[in-house]
Structures are given as C-alpha cells and as structure tokens.
Amino acid sequence: MIVHDPAPEDLPYLRRCVVLARHALEVGNEPFGSLLMLDDAVLFEDFNHVSTGDDTRHPEFAIARWAAENLTPEQRLAAVVYTSGEHCPMCAAAHAWVGLGRIVYATSSIQLVQWRREWGLPDGPVSPLPIGAVAPGVIVSGPAPELLDEVRALHASYAGDAPA
Ligand code: ZN
C-alpha cells in the first residue's frame, strides 16, 4: 500500500468533511464526516449517525452503499472518498468490496486511538487497523496536519459529553 500526504487541492474537501463532522457532533453523533467526489463534483456526503443506536451508521459505509447503487464500476474506481477520520475496518472493507478509488483522510485511526487513551476512554470493540491492512489495493492519502487540531477538538468535545 502507498500512503501519500494529501495534496493542497485536497484540503478544501477535507475541510468540508470537518464541517460535516462538526454538524454530526452538534446533533449528538460522533464527529465524523465524509464525501464522495467524481470528476471534481461532490456526488454524495454524509456524517456519522450512531445516535440512532446503530453503531454501524458511519458515513464511509453509507458512501460505499450509495456508490454501489448509483455508480458504474468504472465510476466507482475513478471516485475519491474524503473523510475527516480514517476508515474503520468495516468501512475500509465496504469501500474495497464496492471497488471505490482513492481515500483521503484528515486524521488517522491511530491518532484517534491515542487521543482516546489520553482521555482515559476504553478502546472500541473493533481493532483500529489502518486501511492498508484491510484494503491493500486502495491508494490512501493522510493524515493532513493542517486539520489535526480542529478534528482533535471535535473528538475531545464528544468525549467530554460522553457518559463516564
Ligand atoms: Zn467505519
């Protein structure tokens, strides 16, 4: 697997994902947001919906499902998925199963695990494997240091609101 740094032209899309993540937080969800881009057009975007009680309601998973229903295999391969936080193994698998293209993330799963441990929170129920361990054929770019503080603050806010 090849991991690149996000390019300057990726940053506006990552910033949009952070806006979506902030909205997710404001309506009671974990702060994650993602979007699907094809040919310089944003086709679909979503944010985390775990406040529904369904902990699989991740935006990257919704993107994979949307892409499977609405795009040809060629379009899926050419599409780019931007996300505020690196795909979890469930979403990385869904991304690979539907044949989507490059992933660009603002912060990594390892960063999130380290923050949660700093805040005294338990590890989640799923191993925080990097995308490359789950979907080795996917080209990945991230993290973006420019957005680290903002994303970390969103997760800190969510952690502060979570029951002890
Ligand atoms: Zn996920």
The model's pLDDT over 18-77, given as tens digits with 9 standing for 90+, comes to 999 999 999 999 999 999 999 999 999 999 999 999 999 999 999 999 999 999 999 999
- Check: CB of residue 106 under 8 Å from CB of residue 36: no
Mean local confidence (pLDDT), 3-15? 91
Is residue 11 one of the residues assigned to a domain? yes
Question: In angstroms, what is the span from residue 49 Cα to ligand 1's centroid?
Answer: 11
Task: Render pLDDT for 89-124 as a digit per residue (tens, 0 to 9).
Answer: 999 999 999 999 999 999 999 999 999 999 999 999
Q: What is the H or E stretch that residue 29 is in?
A: none
The structure's pTM equals 0.95
Is residue 37 one of the residues assigned to a domain? yes
Is residue 129 one of the residues assigned to a domain? yes
Q: Which residue has the higher pLDDT, 109 or 5?
A: 109
- Check: CB of residue 162 under 8 Å from CB of residue 25: no
Which CATH number fits the domain that encloses residue 90?
3.40.140.10
- In the prediction, which pLDDT does 164 show? 45
Question: In angstroms, what is the span from residue 85 Cα to ligand 1's centroid?
Answer: 9
Is residue 55 one of the residues assigned to a domain? yes
What range defines the domain where residue 50 resides? 3-159
Question: In angstroms, what is the span from residue 158 Cα to ligand 1's centroid?
Answer: 17
Is residue 164 one of the residues assigned to a domain? no
Question: In angstroms, what is the span from residue 74 Cα to ligand 1's centroid?
Answer: 24
Q: Band of the pLDDT at 163, cuts 50, 70, 90?
A: very low
How many structural domains is the chain composed of? 1
Question: In angstroms, what is the span from residue 66 Cα to ligand 1's centroid?
Answer: 15
- In the prediction, which pLDDT does 85 show? 98
**In the predicted structure, residue 3 carries a pLDDT above the cut 90:** no
Question: In angstroms, what is the span from residue 93 Cα to ligand 1's centroid?
Answer: 9
Question: In angstroms, what is the span from residue 88 Cα to ligand 1's centroid?
Answer: 4
Mean local confidence (pLDDT), 116-134? 95
Question: In angstroms, what is the span from residue 39 Cα to ligand 1's centroid?
Answer: 25
